[in-house]
Structure formats: C-alpha cells, structure tokens
Amino acid sequence: MMLFKAFSSSMRLLLLIPFLGAMGYGLFMTKFMNEAQNGELGFAGRILMEVGRVAIEHRADSQRDAVFDMAGLSTDRVVRLERRVPVAELLGEGDLPQGAALTLAVQARGKQLAEADCPLLLATLAQSCALRELTVRMADREGIVIVEASLAFTPADPAGDIEGVEGRDMHSREVKLLGGNTRPVAATDLAARRSAALTEAAAACAEVRKTEGNCVVRSVSLSERPRDDGRYDVRAEARLAVLAPLPKPPTS
C-alpha cells in the first residue's frame, strides 16, 4: 500500500512538471538530492532509475532494429576505416600546395579515398554502400594525414531466422580478422588486405548462422598505419550481431 501511494505521488509530480516548467524540474531534483544525501531511494530516485532503464532499453531496441533492417543504411551497421597516409602519397606526385590550399586538397582527396572503398564492400559483403561519416585531419606526426571513414551498408547475405525481431535480444560477438596478424604489407597490397578482412567477416557470420540460425555483420574496423620503412601495419576486427531465440510461451 505504501509503495502504491509513493508511486501515485511520484506520477502526480511528474504530470505537474511540464506545467511548472523550470520550477517543477527544480522541485523534483531538490527532492532527489535530499533523498541521495539521506541515503534513501525514495520515489524521485526510483523515477530517475526507471527513466534511465527505459531509455537504455529503447536505445538497445533501436540499435537491434537498425542492425537487422536488411534494406536500410544505418550508422548502426558500418565498416570503419582508419588510414594514416603520407601527404605526398595521398595527393600524388608534384609540388604540394601550401596553407589553406593544402587543407582543401587533403579534405577532397580524403573523401575520394573513402568513397573508393564502397566497390570493395560491394564485392565482399554488401549489397549497397554509402559514406556516412568522414573525418580528415593532419596527424601530430609531420606529413601524415588521418582519414577516418564510416561506410554504412546493407548486407549481401540474408540474416537468417529473424522472425519476431522486436521480441528478441541482440548479442554481439567479437572476431579478430586476418588472424589477428599485423604483418607489415606494402602500400600496393593494402586493398587486398581490406578485401580479405571483409571476406573473413562475412564468412565468420555465415558460420555463426549455421549454429545460431541468424547473423549480421554489425561492424568491421580496419586500421592502416605507415611504418618508417614504407610498409603498413594493418589491424582488423569485426562485430557480429546475433538474435537470441524467441522467448518460449508460458506453459499452462
């Protein structure tokens, strides 16, 4: 009975807050702070905890729906590439521009570099692809440009059994690609390494699908960093998304 009264009081206060505006919010937070200082979990604290729980669940549901939306391009299902490229290699041979002209040239070439990876995705794990996020900046190391890109994609492979997706929890599995190997490669071999990593991610998901009934490649992260000898260290990993089985109906 006491819990019901506390809940009723809290709901009345919540309904009043929009009408009271800043004063209502202040009253609510004052109540919460008083409870916290007294080491109590009163109705204000319970409401904040419940609001937080609902917000977290809503975000998780939104992510799950986006990841398993096989037709939509979403930032919840992406290939992320981080490249560190010498400026001269990025812009090609010839005299480098200076000042603002260099910044503009680096930005434009960085975008072209990122967009050029979509055909690679289409040849390995994607049915469609689009550049969603891009950051191009100069590194602390002189003469190096950092290009960070996120490419959203729709999977080429079917997800498997995703019936009743709204009622199922999503779990993630981390997979090291390229054998977790950072063996240096020549710049001319970087595209082949990217292709191998993406192919491995799709193959790993196919194996999971055999046992779990469904799987989607949620993300692939690729990092390429130049060495002093002109070769590159490459790291790659994938995150696979799997839907838990549908809850069993209650037995009578």
pTM value surpassing 0.85: no
Residue whose C-alpha is closest to residue 157's, from 207, 115, 221: 207
148/84 Cα distance (integer angstroms): 9
Does the structure show a pLDDT above 70 at 55? Answer: no
- Say which range, 34-48, 129-143, 151-165, 230-244, has the weakest mean pLDDT: 34-48
CB within 8 Å of 174: residues ≥ 6 apart: 237, 238, 239, 240
Q: Which amino acid is at 126?
A: A
175/109 Cα distance (integer angstroms): 31
Q: pLDDT grade, residue 221 (50/70/90)?
A: very high
pLDDT in tens, 117-133: 999 999 999 999 999 99
Does the structure show a pLDDT above 80 at 12? Answer: no
Instruction: Give the start-to-end residue ranges of the domains of the chain.
Output: 2-64, 72-243
| Segment 31-57 mean pLDDT | 53
More confident residue, 61 or 235: 235
pLDDT in tens, 106-162: 999 999 999 999 999 999 999 999 999 999 998 877 889 999 999 999 999 999 988
pLDDT in tens, 185-206: 999 999 999 999 999 999 999 9
